[in-house]
Structure 1
Amino acid sequence: MGVEDAADHPHAAEDAVESIGTTLDERTTCEELAAFVCERLGGAAAVDLLPEDIPSAPGAAGAAPALERAAMAGRTELLAPPGPEGTLRGAHPSPGGGAVRAGRRRA
């Protein structure tokens, strides 16, 4: 199922509620999220977590915080690491980040 198909699926939100967050375990929820996104929207998905002790204001601490890859699904060889030495690469670190910042759909 591609992005266009997922948008047309009338029960996508219900499916997400039933598939993601079935336990209170953070790792399991991350794995469920990656699997759902991969199945519905693309060939690969990753969930990267920020540390719990980072400041709430962007850039307040100076250096970008290290990310931890919590879960992956699908063709994981397509996924980039969170960034150099596990740091956040920007507001939208995905390959489609430029399209997101520009407000357009990725081709």
Structure 2
Amino acid sequence: MNASTFSALAEPNRLRIVELLQDGPLTVGEIANRLQIRQPQASKHLKVLLDAGLVDVQADANRRNYKLRMEPFKALDEWLESYRSTWDDRFDNLHHYLQKLQFEKSTKNNN
């Protein structure tokens, strides 16, 4: 897991760009239009995402098409998996505890 992934995704516009690119490649102009930001701002955000390895760019004549790289997101998912199991265990324990409290409360009310 790379800390630059978190740093790149921490900025709201960059996160929104990643969400846009989930549907397929887009040009800088298309991204700027959809986010309602200026093209130079979109280019700066895309440069950060490119440097973090989250996107690839392909030149097509005078246009640059940006697309997501899936490898960093797979690595992020694998890293998060260890936390998922920890939280699943904690939620299971909480669920059992709440069931126990509910049972004790219903037992007291019936007496």
Same fold (TM over 0.5): no
TM-score range, shorter chain: under 0.3
Greater gyration radius: 2
Report the TM-score, using the length of structure 1 for normalisation. 0.26
Report the TM-score, using the length of structure 2 for normalisation. 0.25
Higher helix share: 2
Structure with higher RCO (Cα < 8 A, 6+ apart): 2
